[in-house]
Amino acid sequence: MEIRRSYRYALRPTGTQQRALVAQLDAHRVLYNSALDHRRTAYRMAGVSITYYDQARELGAIRVGNPQQKACNHSSQQHTLRRLDRSFQAFFRRIKAGQEPGFPRFRGRNRFRTLTFTHGDGATFTETRTSPLRHPFAATVKIQGVGAVPLVYHRRLGEREGGQMADPVRIGTVEIIRTGDHWEAVFSCTLTVPTPKDAYPTLPATGIDVGLEHYASLADGEQVPNPRFLRKSMGEVKRLQRKLDRARKDRAAEKRAAKKRETAVVTARVAGKPIPPTPPVEVWVSTRGKKRPKRTAERRARLLSRAVARRHEKIGNQRAFFQWHLARSLISRFGLIAVEMLKRRNMARRPKKKLDEAKTKDAGQPVYAPNGAAAKSGLNKSIYDAAGGLFVQRLSSKAEEAGCLIVGVRAAGTSQECPRCARKTPKTLDERWHTCPCGCSLPRDVAAAQVIRARGLTSVAVSAA
Ligand SMILES: [Zn+2]
């Protein structure tokens, strides 16, 4: 059986290699932005849609005339053009669906972070055996125009849980990603692994309800609490974000003051009056009496925004680790797991703005009625925390090779139904307990998980028959 698996490693480039990587990212960004400009202009001026193939054909000519582009790997440039094409397709798809998407945007330095290569064409992975006992393997990725960059080889490429190696391993693409202030490589691979036996019915079936109060509730009554680290990290992010907002405000004031002074100097010079003195440099004094010039708001804002980005990255990593861990433990215990096919997008979407017509007429400018956006955005955050969609994705990617079956079921009304007698039991969001005239009494989410399990088993029985 073949499975898809990606392996992510931190990179340890030298200073020279980092500069080469940054230069390549820049070249790819220029290519991306000019290809986007090309499409926009053609569409606006002539109503012509330009395809990926049109642009890929022109790439050869662009490379001949442009040393910056010539230095990049040709097929990785095609990957970049394809990425642009994908964002256009997503744009048109959303228009068709009646949404109002933003037009694909030009990418600034901070919005272009990935180089994609076809493995063996511009980027090649090499594993070597080393002598020490503790770390018997090392690896590098050799990138065109950069050289061989060492990986932090914390696990072997192709290694699976339990330490056995898949054989063979085919590497499809290599992505080189700049994340904050370090670099990562992601190898997307196809592994050939022994086909597992079906784990169901040897192992029992369950249903999972991914919720807000608990991270997950299982049909057998077990409830996985929300990880505490998320709340803690969230608090830190909030604190940093507040500081950042303040620094940005100060920065604006700083800019205004500088401008004001500039004007004052110019007017004084024109009028032949004495030039106003430069304000003294503010000094920061530490508790131990050390002195240094006070950081400008500009500098503070930059440091803080970096800190916020790092924090977000950390939350992402913590969440991923938690979810992988939970997925593994579920898969080792159950042979069939039923999950809701969540329409997360709908749940988390911002409520639509509603125009308050009477007030708009009075004020002469658009006034919007309160739509509960603030209250709902708190809820949204919790929903993203639970990140049910991502968890289910991770769960199913692990399940396949273990022979565990993941069944997606209809999500409608799972919390409004009694798992024992299937009677309708309407509840509001605040009602956390399920009680039914039939005598069934359970925590709300456990009841929902049982309904989910029942639906999952029905759909398996139907498709087997
Ligand atoms: Zn009942």
Do both 76 and 217 map to the same domain? no
Q: pLDDT: is 412 or 261 the higher one? A: 261
Overall average pLDDT of the 255-276 stretch: 90
Query: How many domains, the chain?
Result: 2
Measured in degrees and rounded to the nearest 5, phi and psi for residue 129 equal -90, 130
Query: Is the model's pTM score more than 0.75?
Result: no
Say how many Å lie between the CA of residue 414 and the centre of ligand 1.
Answer: 13
Do both 282 and 418 map to the same domain? yes
Structural domain contains residue 311:
yes
How far is Cα 127 from Cα 133, in angstroms, rounded to an integer? 16
Do both 173 and 321 map to the same domain? no
Say how many Å lie between the CA of residue 438 and the centre of ligand 1.
Answer: 4
Do both 206 and 235 map to the same domain? yes
Structural domain contains residue 366:
no
Say how many Å lie between the CA of residue 257 and the centre of ligand 1.
Answer: 70
Instruction: Answer yes or no: is pLDDT of 447 > 60.
Output: yes
Do both 154 and 181 map to the same domain? yes
Say how many Å lie between the CA of residue 404 and the centre of ligand 1.
Answer: 30
Which range marks the domain in which residue 292 is found?
Answer: 196-349+379-465
Say how many Å lie between the CA of residue 422 and the centre of ligand 1.
Answer: 6
Phi-psi region of 42 (alpha: psi -120 to 50; beta: other; left: phi over 0): alpha
Do both 253 and 340 map to the same domain? yes
Mean pLDDT, the chain, as a whole number?
Answer: 86
Say how many Å lie between the CA of residue 206 and the centre of ligand 1.
Answer: 19
Do both 167 and 222 map to the same domain? no
Report DSSP letters for 369-404, one per residue.
Answer: EP-SHHHHHHHHHHHHHHTHHHHHHHHHHHHGGGT-
Say how many Å lie between the CA of residue 420 and the centre of ligand 1.
Answer: 5
Say how many Å lie between the CA of residue 128 and the centre of ligand 1.
Answer: 62
Say how many Å lie between the CA of residue 413 and the centre of ligand 1.
Answer: 15
Instruction: Answer yes or no: is pLDDT of 123 > 60.
Output: yes
Say how many Å lie between the CA of residue 217 and the centre of ligand 1.
Answer: 19
Q: Which residues, including other chains, have CB under 8 Å from residue 256's CB and lie 6 or more apart?
A: none
Least confident piece of the model among 33-42, 60-69, 310-319, 448-457: 310-319
Do both 109 and 233 map to the same domain? no
Q: pLDDT: is 181 or 220 the higher one? A: 220
Say how many Å lie between the CA of residue 430 and the centre of ligand 1.
Answer: 20
The confidence band for 362, taking pLDDT boundaries of 50, 70 and 90, is low
Say how many Å lie between the CA of residue 424 and the centre of ligand 1.
Answer: 8
| pLDDT 10s digits, 157-204 | 998 877 788 888 999 999 999 987 789 999 999 998 888 888 878 889
Do both 276 and 337 map to the same domain? yes
Write down which residue in 148, 166, 192 finishes a domain.
Answer: 192
Say how many Å lie between the CA of residue 457 and the centre of ligand 1.
Answer: 19
Say how many Å lie between the CA of residue 406 and the centre of ligand 1.
Answer: 27
Do both 140 and 157 map to the same domain? yes
Say how many Å lie between the CA of residue 439 and the centre of ligand 1.
Answer: 6
Say how many Å lie between the CA of residue 119 and the centre of ligand 1.
Answer: 57
pLDDT of residue 223: 93
Do both 212 and 105 map to the same domain? no
Say how many Å lie between the CA of residue 415 and the centre of ligand 1.
Answer: 12
pLDDT of residue 345: 47
Say how many Å lie between the CA of residue 409 and the centre of ligand 1.
Answer: 21
| pLDDT 10s digits, 367-415 | 555 554 444 444 444 434 445 678 888 888 888 888 898 888 888 888 8
Say how many Å lie between the CA of residue 465 and the centre of ligand 1.
Answer: 28
Q: pLDDT: is 25 or 293 the higher one? A: 25
Within 10 A of 435 (CB to CB), how many other CB atoms are there? 15
Helix/strand/coil for 294: coil
Q: Do 331 and 398 meet the contact criterion of CB atoms below 8 Å apart?
A: yes
Say how many Å lie between the CA of residue 343 and the centre of ligand 1.
Answer: 27
Q: Do 360 and 369 meet the contact criterion of CB atoms below 8 Å apart?
A: no
Write down which residue in 163, 192, 221 finishes a domain.
Answer: 192
Say how many Å lie between the CA of residue 325 and the centre of ligand 1.
Answer: 34
Structural domain contains residue 362:
no
Do both 426 and 403 map to the same domain? yes
